[in-house]
């Protein structure tokens, strides 16, 4: 399970500050349960856990098994919530360097780099390790089918797929989109592409536990049933006893009311880098409205201690810090000895790297707390599908509760349209 330690923040709050924030969090949670808050038509991410669709999981598993057997490369074409959740789970639960167990998973459609697309096509056209033409499957993910970054990449790659696999291209392209309407549904009807539906009442940043995230995760060889049903379990437990979540949301809200304007989300585990980026989008698009919210920054420690550590330790006291850690790892690399001890590190001889990494975390936590940075520690017992599933739902719910505390709609993103309007004007739309 995951454990939330808010003790450092509570020490920095008066009893009245915390109780006021707790009451706000309780009321916000009730709004979610009763569906009475702003944007309540977007609570489908809860409905899918309250009423699991086993047939969908079976269909996803079956297709993923076939793709794993047949594909050299599986391309995920999407942006924002249409790729971040899948990538977060895959990078957290697969090996850094494993290229043997299943297809290589490549992400595209999340930027506008023509150079990337050019090199991607060139890479796809190279033979596989057996000297044969690469077998490629393409999963495009978009409700509208017209999101610029994704649609342009899909246009290029779909054309390439048609030319490369003229006989069975329709079996190789999978569209994950809205039940009806939109550009991708027109292509599905015209070409017979496989299709999975994004529930109409689930927004992109809350969609990781729908086919949006589950198909790529299954293709990566991860047990999506364990991932999904641990989220179901978290849903049921938090409905009965949400105290840990309410405490977290209350502490975060109380700090916001005291002027904290930045939340630095960090971990000493590089496998969690994209899980933090998923969380950055979840929080950023949900809370940053009406001049409210904390800016969610992401830092990978200990790497970024050598770039922003000075700022966190001695900069403006307008930030909090969220540490996401893993209690148990499978790593058993130890520090070797050295005859010369030229680096002066023989005092660490025989110690495991995970022990050293833990001490680096504990030392950083202690230093930043002494530097008056309020901190919360989120601890996963182990990095596996079970705990990641729980983590995903916990943060979806915590984000919604916290945003209702701020009195903003957690599920819209009106500000996103600002840059799009100006961009499309410049492009001549």
Q: Which of 186, 420, 421, 422 is catalytic?
A: 420
Q: What token pair was written down for 246?
A: 């309410």
Which contiguous run of DSSP H or E holds residue 300?
Answer: strand 295-300
φ and ψ of 401, to 5 deg: -60, -50
The candidate with the shortest Cα–Cα distance to 194, out of 136, 139, 134, 151, is: 139
Q: What is the DSSP letter of 199?
A: P
CA distances from 67 to 59, 75, 138, 147, 220 (A): 12, 11, 10, 26, 10
Query: DSSP characters for 150-198?
Result: HHHHHHHHHHHHHHH-TTTHHHHEEEEE-SS-SHHHHHHHHH--EEEEP
C-alpha to C-alpha distance for 35 and 238, rounded to whole angstroms? 16
Question: Other C-beta atoms within 10 Å of 97: how many?
Answer: 6
In the block, tokens 């020490």 appear at 11
C-alpha to C-alpha distance for 260 and 225, rounded to whole angstroms? 39
Question: Other C-beta atoms within 10 Å of 115: how many?
Answer: 7
Are 284 and 296 spatial neighbours (Cβ–Cβ below 8 Å)? Answer: yes
Q: Which residues pair with 4 in a beta bridge?
A: 378
φ and ψ of 140, to 5 deg: -100, 135
Which contiguous run of DSSP H or E holds residue 177?
Answer: strand 173-177
Helix, strand, or coil here: 247?
A: helix
Q: Is 258 a catalytic residue?
A: no
Q: Which of 91, 149, 197, 285 is catalytic?
A: 285
Q: Is 34 a catalytic residue?
A: no
Strands of the sheet containing 173-177, edge to edge, are 104-108, 73-77, 136-141, 173-177, 194-197
Strands 262-267 and 173-177: unpaired
Q: Is 387 a catalytic residue?
A: no
Q: Which of 11, 126, 129, 306 is catalytic?
A: 306
Q: Which residues pair with 264 in a beta bridge?
A: 297, 321
Q: What Rg, from alpha-carbon coordinates, does the chain have?
A: 23
Task: List, by residue number, the catalytic residues.
Answer: 285, 306, 420
């Amino acid at each position: 399970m995951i454990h939330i330690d808010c003790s450092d923040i509570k020490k920095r709050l008066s009893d009245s500050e915390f109780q006021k924030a707790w009451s706000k969090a309780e009321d916000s949670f009730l709004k979610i349960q009763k569906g009475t808050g702003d944007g309540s038509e977007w609570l489908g991410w809860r409905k899918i856990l309250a009423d699991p669709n086993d047939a969908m999981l079976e269909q996803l598993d079956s297709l993923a098994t076939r793709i794993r057997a047949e594909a050299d490369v599986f391309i995920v074409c999407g942006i924002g919530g249409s790729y971040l959740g899948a990538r977060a789970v895959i990078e957290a639960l697969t090996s850094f360097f494993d290229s043997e167990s299943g297809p290589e998973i490549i992400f595209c459609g999340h930027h506008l780099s023509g150079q990337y697309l050019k090199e991607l096509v060139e890479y796809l056209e190279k033979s596989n390790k057996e000297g044969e033409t690469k077998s490629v499957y393409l999963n495009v993910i978009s409700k509208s089918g017209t999101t610029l970054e994704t649609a342009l990449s899909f246009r290029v790659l779909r054309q390439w797929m048609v030319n490369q696999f003229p006989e069975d291209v329709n079996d190789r392209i999978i569209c994950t989109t809205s039940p009806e309407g939109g550009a991708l549904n027109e292509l599905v009807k015209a070409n017979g592409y496989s299709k999975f539906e994004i529930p109409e009442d689930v927004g992109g940043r809350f969609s990781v536990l729908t086919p949006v995230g589950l198909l790529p995760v299954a293709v990566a060889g991860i047990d999506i049933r364990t991932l999904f049903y641990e989220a179901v379990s978290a849903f049921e437990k938090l409905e009965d006893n949400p105290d840990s979540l309410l405490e977290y949301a209350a502490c975060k809200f109380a700090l916001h009311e005291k002027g904290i304007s930045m939340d630095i989300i960090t971990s000493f585990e590089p496998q969690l880098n994209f899980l933090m980026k998923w969380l950055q989008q979840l929080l950023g698009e949900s809370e940053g409205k009406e001049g409210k919210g904390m800016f969610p920054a992401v830092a990978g420690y200990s790497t970024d201690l050598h770039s922003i550590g000075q700022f966190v330790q001695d900069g403006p006291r307008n930030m909090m810090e969220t540490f996401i850690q893993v209690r148990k790892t499978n790593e058993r690399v130890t520090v070797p000895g050295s005859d010369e001890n030229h680096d002066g590190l023989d005092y660490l001889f025989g110690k495991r790297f995970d022990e050293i990494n833990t001490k680096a975390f504990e030392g950083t936590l202690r230093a930043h707390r002494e530097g008056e940075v309020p901190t919360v520690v989120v601890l996963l017992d182990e990095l596996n599908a079970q705990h990641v599933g729980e983590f995903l739902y916990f943060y979806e719910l915590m984000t919604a509760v916290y945003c209702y505390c701020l009195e903003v709609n957690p599920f819209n993103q009106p500000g996103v349209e600002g840059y799009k309007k100006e961009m499309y004007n410049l492009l001549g739309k």
